[in-house]
Amino acid sequence: MSLPMSDGVHPCFWPVEELEKRCQLRTQSRSGPGGQHRNRTASGAFLTFDTGVPEIGAITAEATEQRQQARNRSTALVRMRFLLAVTLRSRSPAEPGVDVKADNFSEVELELRARYRGSPMKLNDENVAKPAVLTLVLNDLWYAGGQPSLISAHWKTSTSKLVNLVRSHPPAFRLVNQVRQHHSRPPLR
């Protein structure tokens, strides 16, 4: 099973401001129920990020539920980070033949691994680090054939805590089960 690889540092490890600068913003008003309470200004935010990967192309995240454009833009940016976490893969220490010191892993990635290693892995969706930590765990699971038991020692946590982290974001959970299916393993429950 091949998944698109990120060139260089995965976008989830970039500062939020950097990712926002590299996204194209489009605003739009939405029709629908609400009558006089429906916002008629262009408060909906649509962020588009060009992944640079031909198989994927551009990814768009949207938010239209708030009446303030700034809130919608912020929500769309969070959604973009989660989309990137599930869509793109990058190198992992779980990959055979990888030397963490010699293979130029980003400082942000190494810091996140150190900070969350041994933690309960209960991250709120509002936690700015969650998409990046989810990216790291998904990268490791991809190289481990979707087996949390193979990466739990590296993270110094239980397999159930890793599975709960992945389960907290349904698209990530579906991806791991697709990887498991590719390797003829039963789905995680």
Strands (E), 41-144: 44-50, 58-63
User: Domain map of the chain by residue range?
Assistant: 11-87, 107-182
* Closest C-alpha among 142, 167, 127, 164 to residue 87: 142
- Integer distance in angstroms from the first to the last C-alpha of the chain? 21
Identify the CATH class of 11-87.
alpha beta
Weakest-pLDDT range from 13-27, 31-45, 124-138, 166-180 = 31-45
DSSP 183: T
Mean pLDDT for the stretch of residues 9-24: 94
Phi/psi for 98 (5° steps) reads: -90, 130
The residue with greater pLDDT, 28 or 170, is 170
Question: What average pLDDT does the chain have?
Answer: 89
97 Cβ contact partners less than 8 Å away, ≥ 6 residues apart: none
Weakest-pLDDT range from 30-34, 67-71, 148-152 = 30-34
CB 94 within 8 A of CB 154: yes
Mean pLDDT for the stretch of residues 94-109: 79
